[in-house]
């Protein structure tokens, strides 16, 4: 949610100063804050503070921009360089794995005629994939509100606790899935689609169009 709040300003910075330059400066600022306040950054048991993971989002943006770029390899070089830098900082298997993920995703981006990419694109364009994409943010917001009470109730049932861990996990997930996806779909239809329509009207307004032409 912190990223969604910062995203419009991040895109404005990339529009004004260039995607690579703005992204590199922001990553440097995050690293500077991490160096200046090490105890504060270490106080997060999970990397929930945006400056800890902003570089991942910036790499994703660079990857998307590479699709339409005349020289996409500069985005590849920047993304791999940042990923390798964080391997040295974090020294974790997750950071090492991220380098290979970046390389694999860029391979699919740059090899537009790849049969693998075409199959993945077809799979991600299916009706089920579109539904899961539309409901993903609502599901992210809702699922814990449902998981916690359901898991709490199930933990009071001795027969449930006697089951194998994997069976308990699957059973809890099945119970939680239906109300979570239903609630996420309602949020998408009643909140997100209206917000998107409002945003499109705002972007099409004469004042915003004139401001964009001036800044461009």
Give 152-209 pLDDT, tens digit per residue.
Answer: 999 999 999 999 999 999 999 999 999 999 999 999 999 989 988 888 888 787 776 6
Amino acid 167: pLDDT: 94
- The arithmetic mean of pLDDT across residues 19-33, rounded, is 93
Amino acid 150: pLDDT: 94
Amino acid 211: pLDDT: 58
Q: Place 212 in a pLDDT band, splitting at 50, 70 and 90.
A: low
Which of 77, 104, 122 is at the close of a domain? Answer: 122
Number of domains in the chain: 2
Write out the residue range of the structural domain in which residue 170 sits. Answer: 127-215
Residues 110 and 139 in one domain: no
pLDDT single digits (tens) 120-134? 777 878 888 899 999
Residues 83, 102 contacting (CB under 8 angstroms): yes
Which of 67, 102, 122 is at the close of a domain? Answer: 122
Q: Place 114 in a pLDDT band, splitting at 50, 70 and 90.
A: low
- The arithmetic mean of pLDDT across residues 5-10, rounded, is 88
Q: Is pLDDT above 90 for 8?
A: no
Half-sphere exposure of 162 (CA within 13 A, CB side): 3
Residues 112 and 186 in one domain: no
Cα distance between residue 98 and residue 142, in whole Å: 28
Residues 155 and 206 in one domain: yes
pLDDT: which is higher, 161 or 110:
161
Min mean pLDDT across 24-28, 57-61, 68-72, 141-145 is at 68-72
pLDDT single digits (tens) 58-82? 999 998 888 777 778 888 889 999 9
Most confident range (mean pLDDT) of 21-30, 88-97, 101-110, 122-131 is 21-30
Q: Is pLDDT above 70 for 43?
A: yes
Residue found by looking up tokens 């814990």 in the block: 144
Query: Residue 9, class by beta-carbon neighbours within 10 Å (0-12 exposed, 13-18 middle, 19+ buried)?
Result: exposed
Residues 111 and 164 in one domain: no
Residues 72 and 10 in one domain: yes
Q: Which of 122, 131, 84 is nearest to 103 (CA)?
A: 84
Amino acid 169: pLDDT: 93
For the chain, the DSSP string reads -HHHHHHHHHHHHHHHH-HHHHHHHHHHHHHHHHHH-HHHHHT-SS--SHHHHHHHHHHHHHHHHHTT-SSTHHHHHHHHHHHHHHHHHH-SHHHHHHHHHHHHHHHHHH-TT-HHHHHHHHHHTSHHHHHHHHHHHHHHHHHHHHHHHHHHHHTT-HHHHTS-HHHHHHHHHHHHHHHHHHHHHHHIIIIIHHHHHHHHHHHHSHHHHHHHHHH-
Residues 168 and 192 in one domain: yes
């Amino acid at each position: 949610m912190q990223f969604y709040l910062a995203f419009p300003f991040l895109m404005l910075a990339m529009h004004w100063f260039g995607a690579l330059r703005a992204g590199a400066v922001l990553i440097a600022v995050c690293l500077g804050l991490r160096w200046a306040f090490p105890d504060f950054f270490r106080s997060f048991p999970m990397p929930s503070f945006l400056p800890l993971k902003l570089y991942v989002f910036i790499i994703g943006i660079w990857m998307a921009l590479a699709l339409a770029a005349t020289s996409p390899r500069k985005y590849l070089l920047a993304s791999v360089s940042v990923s390798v830098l964080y391997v040295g900082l974090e020294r974790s298997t997750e950071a090492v794995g991220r380098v290979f993920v970046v390389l694999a995703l860029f391979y699919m981006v740059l090899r537009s005629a790849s049969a693998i990419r075409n199959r993945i694109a077809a799979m991600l364009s299916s009706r089920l994939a579109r539904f899961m994409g539309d409901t993903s943010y609502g599901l992210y917001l809702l699922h814990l509100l449902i998981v916690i009470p359901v898991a709490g109730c199930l933990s009071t049932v001795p027969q449930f606790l006697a089951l194998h861990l994997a069976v308990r996990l699957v059973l809890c997930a099945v119970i939680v899935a239906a109300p979570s996806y239903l609630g996420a779909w309602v949020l998408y239809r009643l909140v997100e689609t209206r917000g998107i329509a409002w945003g499109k009207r705002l972007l099409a307004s004469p004042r915003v169009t004139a401001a964009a032409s001036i800044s461009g």
